[in-house]
Structure 1
Amino acid sequence: MNNLKVGLIQQSCTANREENIVKSLAGIREAAAKGAGLVVLQELHAGLYFCQSENTDLFNQAEPIPGPGTEIFGALAKELGVVIVASLFEKRAPGLYHNTAVVLERDGSIAGVYRKMHIPDDPGYYEKFYFTPGDLGFNPIDTSVGRLGVLVCWDQWYPEAARLMAMAGAEILIYPTAIGWDPNDEASEQQRQREAWMTVQRAHAVANGIPVVAANRIGFEADPTGHTAGSRFWGSSFVAGCQGELLARAGDEAEEILIAEIDPARSEAVRRIWPFLRDRRIDAYGDLLKRYRD
């Protein structure tokens, strides 16, 4: 396989859906113009990160798949001949909603979807109120640019999710993300959190011998209730190679179109010298199916 250029769209968002989508489309065009064959958007890129509060009116933002979002981004994928990973608030049925990543093939068709499996519930991240946990499992999506192991945000902390994607043949791990700092935290704590976020994902690359792509949003978004100080999303979108090496990294202050080149042949070479999959003791891992060993 030839080397693959990947584009990551790190953007800020407003409450204006049309404005956000126009910005995303422009970012995809720029990435494609720079040679990207795969473009990844951040988590829930069509609007503000609405999970800072619990409000039933916000379910009105959800859309079906296929639907308006897949039509818009599918049309651009076809026009530019690129594969796009988009992130949508999916309305599956009345009262049933998911945080869903959708992969659009270069012909505009839907190559596959992934519904976020791990759903957080923390101050400022009240996702359990909005999202039903995914029920599609950890299955890579086959595309013209490779087999993509698409996961979403909170999934990125779980080595089990990355491993299962790798075991199913994923060639790249992809994480659309919305994560940020509590403005009230000390700077040292903020930096520890961001470094932990990057470290755990780079570890997934190392442990599985495949590249990792993480696209995060940027900018401050206020808590509409005023109960918290809001969230300042830390950007820092990055691409890591299959030994955890940083191939590209965005800053934490501004919107950015990040481009990185991935060599698919490196995974095979690295797995030959670090054969972690070969040496797994699958006969001894039964307790992983337990919540905790008492």
Structure 2
Amino acid sequence: PGQDRAWYASAETVPGPTTEKLQVYAKKYNMVIIVPIYEKEQAGVFYNTAAVIDADGSYLGKYRKNHIPHTTGFWEKFFFKPGNLGYPVFQTKYAKVGVYICYDRHFPDGARILGLNGAEIVYNPSATVAGLSEYLWKLEQPAHAAANGYFMGCINRVGEEKPWNLGKFYGQSYFVDPRGQIFAEASRDDDELLVAEFDLDLIDEVRSTWQFYRDRRPETYGKLTEL
């Protein structure tokens, strides 16, 4: 939408009016909901945020997007500060859930921390148009899932955003298992509800075979934070 201050008015507190409305539906349908929201913490301080609501309707907390891009059509540094809540994992009724948001997926470091923090399922809500990143869409996140031994729910919108000429959003939302195998996928063009069952026992099976957590050498990774 360009660098237009008018959009600041669409931000809201988290928790706030949107989470309160969706808490009712989470409880009614006994479902966990991940809610992307444009968050206003205080005057002039905004974040790209996703709230997590448990199946009993309780608000569990939020994740703030850590990696903020700034490129044509996606002037996110104009609208958001980088997240300051780390990489939290939420104990829901069904699983331990972590969240990554859109551009975050290009960074394996946070994906690893989510695994170290105990995530069993990581959701990545995205709004990404066709281009170079489409090739990466089914490359990076299956790699995160396999490297860290968890499931991922990879969500991307479809269609176009009028009146702006951003390009076509390529959809193809999917679920991927701890082996890095996609086991359910939505279409490129249509609004769809993707439903699949997750066998969480597969996490223990995979991690007992691929001992990536055991064989890590964090004492050798100092350069990751020095450079």
1:126 maps onto 2:75 in alignment: yes
Q: Structure 1: give runs of 5+ residues left out of the alignment.
A: 1-51, 182-189
Deviation, 1:126, is 0.5
Question: SS state of the match for residue 89, structure 1?
Answer: strand
List aligned pairs for 1:251-266, cutoff 5 A.
251-266=187-202
Q: Which has the higher contact order (CA 8 A, sep 6+)?
A: 1
- Is structure 2 residue 174 aligned with structure 1 residue 238? yes
| Equivalent residues in 2 for 1:132-281, closer than 5 Å | 132-181=81-130, 190=131, 193-222=133-162, 224=164, 229-281=165-217
TM-score by length of 1: 0.75
Divergent runs of 4+, >3 A: none
CA RMSD of aligned residues (A): 1.2
What corresponds to 1:29 in structure 2?
Answer: none
Aligned counterparts of 2:178 and 2:135: Cα–Cα separation in 1:
18
For these two proteins, the number of residue pairs brought into alignment is 227
CA contact (8 A) 2:39 2:49 kept: yes
Deviation digits for residues 189-241 of structure 1 (CA, Å, limit 9, x no counterpart): x4x531312210000001011111111111111354xxxx3221111000001
The equivalent residue for 1:6 is none
Unaligned 5+ segments in structure 2 are none
**Conserved 8 A contact 2:69-2:103:** yes
Q: What TM-score do the two structures reach when normalised by structure 2?
A: 0.96
Distance in 2, matches of 1:102 and 1:162, equals: 18
Match of 2:219 among 273, 283, 286: 283
In the other structure, the counterpart of 1:64 is 13
Deviation (angstroms), 1:266 = 0.4
What does residue 86 of structure 1 align with? 35
State the alpha-carbon separation in 1 of the partners of residues 16 and 133 from structure 2: 36
Partner SS, residue 148 of structure 1? strand
Whether the 8 Å contact between 2:129 and 2:166 is mirrored in structure 1 is no
Write the letter of the residue equivalent to 2:175: V
Note the 1:97-116 alignment, pairs <5 A.
97-116=46-65
Aligned to 1:8: none
CA distance change for structure 1 residues 223 and 118 in 2, over 3 Å: closer, same or farther? Answer: farther
Q: Displacement, 1:78? A: 1.0
Partner of 1:184: none
SS in 2 for 1:97: strand
Deviations 1:133-179 (A, max 9, x none): 11000121111111111111111111001100100111111101111
